[in-house]
Structures are given as C-alpha cells and as structure tokens.
Amino acid sequence: MGENTTNIDEMSFEQALAELEQIVSTLESGKAPLEDSIHSYERGIALKKHCESKLSAAQEKIEKITITPEGTPKTEPFQE
C-alpha cells in the first residue's frame, strides 16, 4: 500500500475526504498488511478530524438572511 505523506492541514475538504474513502476501502478489503492497516487507520482518524474541522468552519461562515419587521433584509449567524 502506498504511503501518502501529504500534510493533512494543507488538504482541501475534498482531498481529505477522497483519501479517507480510499483508506476505508483498503481497510475493508482486508488485503493490506497489519502494519500498513494500523498506519492507514491512524491517518484515517486524522483525515476525519480534518474534515470535521473544515465542515465546522464552513458552518460558522453560513449566515441566514432574515427580514426585519420594517421589511429590510439583515443577516445573522446560522444556528441549527
């Protein structure tokens, strides 16, 4: 199994997700040697955290547009 040494902090959400999907597929196949599987699992955990962080940051940037009682639009932070 090829070792990916790309710095996770420099990856886009899409790059990290694609690599995470590849790792999951490889681990599910059960064909990788144990040592490679352990390394892949650890990298997968780091990739998952990176993706969660990117999603959280994106959610914080989302604003919803509301209309005041006077009829003027304003923005406010998005809350679930």
pLDDT at 3 over 60: no
pLDDT digits (tens, 9 = 90+) for 10-27: 999 999 999 999 999 999
Nearest alpha carbon to residue 54 among 4, 3, 20, 5: 20
CATH architecture of 8-77: Orthogonal Bundle (1.10)
**SS3 category, 75:** strand
pLDDT digits (tens, 9 = 90+) for 23-78: 999 999 999 899 999 999 999 999 999 999 999 888 777 777 777 888 888 877 76
Domain boundaries, the chain: 8-77
The per-residue pLDDT for 1 is 44
pTM, rounded to two decimals: 0.71
A 10 A CB-CB count for 44 gives 18
Q: What one-character DSSP code corresponds to residue 9?
A: G
CA distance 49 to 1: 22
